[in-house]
Structure 1
């Protein structure tokens, strides 16, 4: 490797100190070097050392400006970000990189604080630099390093001055390290984590390793703290005072993700005092199960990239805390740190608030897949030192976090001897944590069987297999949360609960990586791959999270929270008021929860009260009984809602936060009020010139189109609708059956169907319109008949659909669409809500009476697509005002339907690339669907399960339309 530039050297670091543990604070001094730095950008890597040329002095050379550190220069107006999923953005020629290698020179002048001690040494620490850095202090070359998401330190004590220190850092976007960091994310160069100067007094702590185990059989903890140099450890709450290196046992409360018990401790050496937080827990793989403190755990997990829509991978502690709080509030109990160690403060928060963590090494070589894995670094001995360096820096930094229960070798690197070398070192250094890597069941370098995006059938097969010596099974990635979705979460969760070996999974992923941008007129949107002029990109595949880029929870997160909620309440309802309450926690009892009930009729609450539920232990179930239904004067559909809430404030949510809920039907209403009124004849239809009048409705005599109802105009009549703006999962890949559904839809022309009227007849006291719905270029069609009948103050529509031909794929939707004037912009409905729901993603739909402006019914997916359907709707109204005015009411007759309304058509929604491409028109488009095709997760995983497919078949459904006039 001699003679090549240092940034193309596979040697991971030159001049750096050995890796060590991270701690938040100590009584030794420190200086944060973040802030405004001088900066200049080269479009290719300079070959000369900057101090030889101009002393790295902005006054001696042109081209300097300023930059925030920590930060990425491409997010501060210098160059542009780029996104690729698996392909490298450089030619695959390891370890070489192109001459076009954006390189940023960074310069920071600083003085030492007046309180900085004269004795001792000092360490300069970099917590994260992408992707290769060379460092100078006061003109002295300290060395260089690679490993973007890992810490690197230099001994600088002899170089420091009281005043006028000059720190210079040259950062290269591409390096040999780039080949180890192909991690499905934006390429964002820069010094993106903190730069800190640490005073190191004589006899300061150079490293510490906390061993805190727990024996569940007798409730005792075992503590040994290894430190250099030696010192003493005190744990006042436990009455412990001991020397480092000595083992002590005592009764303790264990640490778990549900009960994150931490003990404050102090490590003292002659030179430094370091606060520690101890969590006692033991992790083992035995009998085919992953156990913590003797119990099987079920991971309700997410994969988490570090991301902010403005600052990229530069996150402050408040943002990290927001992530953890959101996870806890939505019952996420585990995080895989895809695909690199996170900021160490994030792990502190996981310790404090309680999350299981799989800490993943900063390693992925996925792009070698495209060259047949030729020259893959993990199977090339020249790269083994770099792989081991990355393993060491992760393990040594994070080894004292009780939340870290597994180490992960990396992600999607294929296989090779380098991974085995990493595994051997990790097992020797930290035998108390199992290892993770995706592979087949017999893969020797992983203690678990880990898979990505396995279909439900495969998970069921793995869980049901009885194999001696079988490993615990995890889905390290599943339920690809891209756009509207994922679907099928409920079915996955039931498999995890039925099969003990199936210990859950990690949804891909936590957050959409959309970068905030503004249009020329100031409207905000989130950009994705291709929006920055990249020569190669993977579009919006970077937007696949459970929260939007601004950390607003998506419907997918709401659905996940409901599916994995830790308390399940079931019951038949009706006259039987007995409920079963199941505690699905792994460790916690229910003493921290308070239960209540409400009783509502037609969505109107008529009574409420507390529900006495015993503090069931983890895994236990019990029966409780609801009170008798209250007396009330309302008629209609009645439902009980039972809710479990936090009984006291926690570190992650306030008292009263909803933890779980369930609904069971009340007793049936009297027959006179329970069903829709029987049709009341309102006179036979009659022709009036070019119109047909039927009760309060007016139709076009030639086409049979509804033009007005009770004097209210329809801008577009109800007619069959089978198209939806494809979701990312509809557009998905061909990994599983059901992928590429949208391509089939477009091939059949479902986005451009034509309606042909075959007959308009006044018959049987009503109006019948027969049509054929088909696309150009195909013989497939949907024969559709609309039967209109007067029904009291309204009209009833019965739609009959008969497919014609041999359909090769499911339909997107089956229902009717119509248009109303824009003034009808307020919706109210009785059905599922408050958010959207689809056939395989509607567990979170709470039956109730909901109100919202039409604009608020939309879900702002980063790439616009089908959204906003409310499931199980009994009736819906569109009105001029929130509290009344003129409007239209639609009632299921007697079926329930899916309801959505928006100010643009499905075709306009389909054509939009960003939310700012959608402009409200002069029509409110209303969709009333008899059926919807499910969502699945075929953007990177299985398609829609058979039970949720909308396969073409004869169908009949009815709706009742009534004009409303409310003062």
Structure 2
């Protein structure tokens, strides 16, 4: 019988990993917590930078590099965070459905002969040639960290890794797209310490990570050391609940979990304070001591506090008003020993009795795009600056939502979407596209599936930008998905769950979220009142090459059927890798550009963005911007008089149109004859306003048009005043004569 190894055992997804929680800031003061910079405290140490690095062909070839007397002098230096393929070690592999394994049918365990001469993949086993990158560095533990709990936090490591501190093995982790944290208190000493990490390119978890993307490896997100007091807040969950139909009365509910592994934790209590956007105190609550919380078969020793909030400023992607919640752990003398904080957005997501997804009681329309957490120059190491640029481009193209296809993103992405206003579908790191749906129905993989969902939710739960959770992508539909759905809906009663693959029913998905539906099928679904779930396309309008020409048809249907609520275009930006040529110029590579062993049958299938890899617009981007614009100019007929008029339609969720200006040009045979602009419109959301046509010149001949442009009236974070968001051309047919007419 084959001896199982940790990285080939779906039952071993971690060893000694710390429980998942809302990201820590370990703040020193309330003022620091209000600022919300999780890296500002002296109790948070940045471990990014150059680490010693050596690549081995397989895990078995690795030396005892973690031992304190091992000589690393001849090792290379590698930046952390980064993907090692982009630093010259191994090769990036792009695939859509294929796993990145070289298939050789040579008797290795990862392939099994199912009929004579026919081999299939054999999870959980992976190829023996499994590139293994070993990292080493030293770090200093200051005096004021001693006597506290020390946690090391890896933001993202692909695909699995072991950790040693001072020569002693601390633990193991997989699930490459969310944080992995370890308690290293018992392993460190004051002064100089050693840190060693062994990363394997493949593990059994790779079978659950067969996304349509570049397969890249290494420590690719931030590494931090966090020092917490012995008695500390383990986690907390903030929920905003509304019972009043006009959304003027809210209840803030906060649940706080102490670290229940520390003696006497029950003597402590939580102080919870809510501040508004100007940092004025809104409300303050104190829990009972944790020892007095809960009873009988209810969860014990966990505190929940609630407070009414009158007339809260509501969070939407159009009005992303944020409050700040500060949670303090206090002892019996009411002395604060630990402080954490998060942003709070007052909003409520519901599916009404007609099957319409609503936000704050109003129909929510998703003008969405699928996005990979990826940058052409740096792979899956994506800077805050890059993220801000992407959100600005999305806003200029009238996108209001992102599906984190197909895995949780960097924590910073969610912070920015809260701040700048983007709705999110947060997607579990799960896709078995090249393996089919077998694992989704297998009880042997239930724990691995469920853990990926629970860890995502536990990390990201406090972000108001998240309106839906997703169970992953293209993995069939099975009992494991139903288990994920059940846990999420019980833990988080403020959001819903979506999943596409296998056309699942409501026990797996609260939303009908297909890929690339036909218009005829869509009409059939809209006519079927036996399944009143919202209909939101998880992928549509595939944006490869010069596409998106039929885009407006989708939005005609969105405006026609209340339950058809938009969708997510596949996808945002071309997933190309920047390659610097000898002359210093940049070219962009796709599948096969690196002479890799595995190449997708359609090697340029990674180039399917609305925008290019450098975020410049493709031709289709202008069609997308216009087709999904929340403000349109339309021709309507008065049902009583039969008169036809032009109107300005406001399809924003919350905003009126005062932030926009409408200008026009009168054009004859390509020559502009006149131009002008209208006074500000204050058209309320969901309504229309008559748009009077400008006065036309006395005589027009040939082709004549009125060109309308809707632009920003003031500077916004994403664009200056005058930036165009929509245009419409109206032909002039009355009073026009041909050039040769007398």
TM-score category, normalised to shorter length: 0.7 to 0.9
Q: What secondary structure sits across from 1:383 in the alignment? A: helix
1:431 partnered with 2:493: yes
1:558 partnered with 2:622: yes
Following superposition of structure 1 onto structure 2, how do residues 575-590 of structure 1 map, counting pairs within 5 Å? 579-590=646-657
1:67 partnered with 2:134: no
1:235 partnered with 2:300: no
Q: Match for 2:512 among 440, 446, 449? A: 449
What root-mean-square deviation, in Å, do the aligned CA atoms of Structure 1 and Structure 2 show?
A: 2.5
Q: Match for 1:654 among 704, 713, 720? A: 720
1:193 partnered with 2:235: no
Q: Residue by residue, what CA displacement relative to the aligned partner does 1:773-795 show, whole Å, maximum 9, x if unpaired?
A: xxxxxxxxxxxxxxxxxxxxxxx
Conservation of the 8 A alpha-carbon contact between 1:208 and 1:226: yes
| 1:648 to 1:213, Cα distance in 2 relative to 1, 3 A | farther
- Rounded Cα–Cα distance in structure 2 between residues aligned with 1:346 and 1:509: 17
Q: State the match for 1:251 in structure 2.
A: 311
| 1:604 to 1:233, Cα distance in 2 relative to 1, 3 A | farther
How far has the Cα of 1:648 moved from its partner?
2.7
- Rounded Cα–Cα distance in structure 2 between residues aligned with 1:54 and 1:233: 44
Conservation of the 8 A alpha-carbon contact between 2:52 and 2:135: yes
- Rounded Cα–Cα distance in structure 1 between residues aligned with 2:562 and 2:416: 29
Runs of 5+ unmatched residues, structure 1: 678-967
Q: State the match for 1:829 in structure 2.
A: none
How far has the Cα of 1:75 moved from its partner?
0.7
Q: State the match for 1:18 in structure 2.
A: 19
Q: What secondary structure sits across from 1:239 in the alignment? A: strand
How far has the Cα of 1:598 moved from its partner?
2.7
- Rounded Cα–Cα distance in structure 1 between residues aligned with 2:251 and 2:674: 52
Q: What secondary structure sits across from 1:268 in the alignment? A: strand
How far has the Cα of 1:48 moved from its partner?
5.8
Q: State the match for 2:146 in structure 1.
A: 118
Conservation of the 8 A alpha-carbon contact between 2:514 and 2:537: yes
1:338 partnered with 2:381: no
- Rounded Cα–Cα distance in structure 2 between residues aligned with 1:586 and 1:23: 33
Greater RCO (CA < 8 Å, at least 6 residues apart)? 2
- Rounded Cα–Cα distance in structure 2 between residues aligned with 1:521 and 1:151: 39
1:272 partnered with 2:338: yes
How far has the Cα of 1:541 moved from its partner?
0.8
Q: Residue by residue, what CA displacement relative to the aligned partner does 1:800-854 show, whole Å, maximum 9, x if unpaired?
A: xxxxxxxxxxxxxxxxxxxxxxxxxxxxxxxxxxxxxxxxxxxxxxxxxxxxxxx
| 1:154 to 1:69, Cα distance in 2 relative to 1, 3 A | same
Q: Residue by residue, what CA displacement relative to the aligned partner does 1:5-33 show, whole Å, maximum 9, x if unpaired?
A: 22112111101111101256733411111
- Rounded Cα–Cα distance in structure 2 between residues aligned with 1:674 and 1:176: 77
- Rounded Cα–Cα distance in structure 1 between residues aligned with 2:440 and 2:373: 25
Q: State the match for 2:675 in structure 1.
A: 608
Q: State the match for 2:37 in structure 1.
A: none
Following superposition of structure 1 onto structure 2, how do residues 687-702 of structure 1 map, counting pairs within 5 Å? none
- Rounded Cα–Cα distance in structure 2 between residues aligned with 1:358 and 1:555: 27
- Rounded Cα–Cα distance in structure 2 between residues aligned with 1:218 and 1:335: 25
Conservation of the 8 A alpha-carbon contact between 1:131 and 1:148: yes
Q: What secondary structure sits across from 1:506 in the alignment? A: strand
Conservation of the 8 A alpha-carbon contact between 2:636 and 2:647: no
Q: State the match for 1:262 in structure 2.
A: 322
Q: State the match for 1:8 in structure 2.
A: 8
Q: What secondary structure sits across from 1:625 in the alignment? A: coil
My pick for the range that moved more, 210-219 or 278-287, is: 210-219
1:160 partnered with 2:188: yes
Q: State the match for 1:476 in structure 2.
A: 538
Q: State the match for 2:556 in structure 1.
A: 494
Q: State the match for 1:79 in structure 2.
A: 90
Following superposition of structure 1 onto structure 2, how do residues 384-403 of structure 1 map, counting pairs within 5 Å? 384-403=446-465
Following superposition of structure 1 onto structure 2, how do residues 206-245 of structure 1 map, counting pairs within 5 Å? 206-214=234-242, 215-229=244-258, 230-237=269-276, 239-243=282-286, 245=304
- Rounded Cα–Cα distance in structure 2 between residues aligned with 1:518 and 1:95: 38
Conservation of the 8 A alpha-carbon contact between 1:572 and 1:664: no
How far has the Cα of 1:181 moved from its partner?
0.3
| 1:443 to 1:277, Cα distance in 2 relative to 1, 3 A | closer
Conservation of the 8 A alpha-carbon contact between 1:578 and 1:626: no
Q: Match for 1:640 among 695, 706, 709? A: 706
Conservation of the 8 A alpha-carbon contact between 2:26 and 2:227: no
Greater radius of gyration (CA)? 1
- Rounded Cα–Cα distance in structure 1 between residues aligned with 2:316 and 2:46: 33
How far has the Cα of 1:662 moved from its partner?
1.8
- Rounded Cα–Cα distance in structure 2 between residues aligned with 1:26 and 1:561: 42
How far has the Cα of 1:456 moved from its partner?
2.1
Conservation of the 8 A alpha-carbon contact between 1:331 and 1:564: yes
Q: State the match for 2:45 in structure 1.
A: 31
Conservation of the 8 A alpha-carbon contact between 1:309 and 1:513: yes
- Rounded Cα–Cα distance in structure 1 between residues aligned with 2:181 and 2:67: 26
How far has the Cα of 1:261 moved from its partner?
1.6
- Rounded Cα–Cα distance in structure 1 between residues aligned with 2:532 and 2:604: 38
Conservation of the 8 A alpha-carbon contact between 1:202 and 1:271: no
Q: Match for 2:349 among 283, 290, 311? A: 283
Q: Match for 2:606 among 511, 518, 542? A: 542
Runs of 5+ unmatched residues, structure 2: 29-40, 102-110, 112-120, 259-268, 288-303, 330-335, 638-642
1:102 partnered with 2:168: no
Q: Residue by residue, what CA displacement relative to the aligned partner does 1:458-510 show, whole Å, maximum 9, x if unpaired?
A: 222222x1323421112111111111113311111111221112111111111
| 1:577 to 1:367, Cα distance in 2 relative to 1, 3 A | closer
| 1:96 to 1:670, Cα distance in 2 relative to 1, 3 A | closer
1:458 partnered with 2:521: yes
1:412 partnered with 2:423: no
Conservation of the 8 A alpha-carbon contact between 2:66 and 2:136: no
Q: Match for 2:503 among 425, 440, 443? A: 440
* TM-score, with length taken from structure 1: 0.66
Q: State the match for 1:524 in structure 2.
A: 586
My pick for the range that moved more, 302-311 or 221-230, is: 221-230
Q: State the match for 1:41 in structure 2.
A: 55
Conservation of the 8 A alpha-carbon contact between 1:25 and 1:275: no
- Rounded Cα–Cα distance in structure 2 between residues aligned with 1:549 and 1:48: 37
